C-alpha cells in the first residue's frame, strides 16, 4: 500500500522551464529540525500527518483481516482454526495499536472520537481482549479455559491438565467489523485535514528551513527496491498512489 501527500502549492522548475522530478524525506527532515524553534510548526505538522496516515494504514490492515475472517465463517473447509487464529490475532493487536497504544514513535490520534458511548464499550471490549487474552494469557470471556483435574478410574487416583482454547469467535469478528466501519472514514477525514495543515506549513517555511528539508532527498528505488511495482510507479500519479491531497 502506498500512501502519499502531494499538496504543496510550490512548484520547482529546471533551467529549461520543465518541472523537475524531486522527492524529499520529510520524516528525516523533521528529525533534523526537531530542536529548531523556527521549524516547530512544520515539524509538528509532519508528525501529526505521519501519525494519522500510519494509523489509517493499520486500520486498513484490520479491515482486510476482518474481511478474511468473515470469509472463514462461511468456509466449507473442515479446519480453518489456525488461519482464523492468525487473522484474529493480527486484527486485534493491530486495532489496539492503532486506537489505544501510546508510542514514542507515533502520536496518538484519538480514533475513538468516532464512537458513541455504546460503540466505545465495543472498543473497550477489543482492547480488553488484547490485554487479557491475546497479548497476555487469561480466560477472557471463555477464550481460554484450562483446568487441573483430579480423577479416579480402575487404576486409582491421578490428575491431568485439560485445555479448551478458542481461536476465533464470530461476535469478535463482527465487533471489529463495526469498529472499522466507523473508524476508517473518521481516520480519512483527519488525514485530509492534517494534510492541509502540512501543505500550509510547507508553503510558509522559510528559505533556511527549506534548505534543510532539501538536504534529505528521497529515493523511491532505495526505499521500495528498484524492481518493486511501487518504485516503478512512484512518479505515476494514476497508478499505485491512493490519493492526492489538494
The helix or strand, by DSSP H or E, that contains position 104, with its residue range, turns out to be: none
pLDDT for 177: 96
Tens of pLDDT, residue by residue over 46-102, are: 999 999 999 999 999 999 999 999 998 887 676 778 888 899 999 999 999 999 877
- Least confident range from 29-43, 111-125, 129-143: namely 129-143
- 6-10 contacts: CB < 8 A, separation 24 or more? 6/237, 6/241, 6/244, 6/245, 6/246, 7/195, 7/196, 7/198, 7/199, 7/244, 7/245, 7/246, 8/199, 8/202, 8/203, 9/199, 9/203, 10/202, 10/203
CA 22 to chain centre: 27
**pLDDT of 40 higher than 90:** yes
Mean pLDDT of 196-220: 94
Collapsing DSSP states into helix, strand and coil, what is residue 217? strand
Tens of pLDDT, residue by residue over 125-158, are: 999 989 888 877 766 667 778 788 888 988 889 9
Amino acid at each position: 500500500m502506498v500512501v502519499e501527500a502531494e499538496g504543496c502549492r510550490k512548484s520547482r522548475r529546471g533551467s529549461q522551464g520543465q518541472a523537475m522530478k524531486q522527492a524529499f524525506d520529510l520524516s528525516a527532515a523533521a528529525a533534523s529540525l526537531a530542536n529548531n524553534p523556527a521549524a516547530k510548526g512544520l515539524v509538528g505538522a509532519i508528525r501529526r500527518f505521519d501519525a494519522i496516515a500510519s494509523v489509517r494504514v493499520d486500520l486498513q490492515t484490520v479491515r482486510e483481516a476482518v474481511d478474511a475472517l468473515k470469509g472463514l465463517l462461511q468456509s466449507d473447509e473442515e479446519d480453518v482454526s489456525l488461519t482464523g487464529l492468525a487473522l484474529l490475532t493480527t486484527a486485534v493487536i493491530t486495532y489496539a495499536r492503532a486506537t489505544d497504544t501510546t508510542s514514542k514513535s507515533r502520536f496518538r490520534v484519538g480514533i475513538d472520537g468516532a464512537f458513541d458511548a455504546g460503540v466505545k464499550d465495543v472498543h473497550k471490549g477489543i482492547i480488553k481482549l488484547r490485554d487479557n487474552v491475546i497479548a497476555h494469557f487469561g480466560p477472557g470471556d471463555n477464550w481460554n479455559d484450562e483446568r487441573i483435574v483430579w480423577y479416579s478410574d480402575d487404576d486409582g487416583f491421578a490428575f491431568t491438565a485439560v485445555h479448551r482454547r478458542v481461536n476465533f469467535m464470530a461476535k469478535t469478528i463482527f465487533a471489529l467489523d463495526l469498529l472499522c466501519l466507523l473508524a476508517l472514514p473518521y481516520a480519512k477525514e483527519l488525514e485530509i485535514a492534517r494534510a492541509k495543515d502540512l501543505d500550509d506549513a510547507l508553503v510558509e517555511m522559510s528559505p533556511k528551513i527549506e534548505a534543510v528539508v532539501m538536504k534529505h532527498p528521497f529515493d523511491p528505488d532505495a526505499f521500495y527496491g528498484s524492481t518493486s511495482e511501487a518504485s516503478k510507479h512512484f512518479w505515476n500519479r494514476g497508478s499505485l498512489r491512493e490519493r492526492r491531497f489538494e
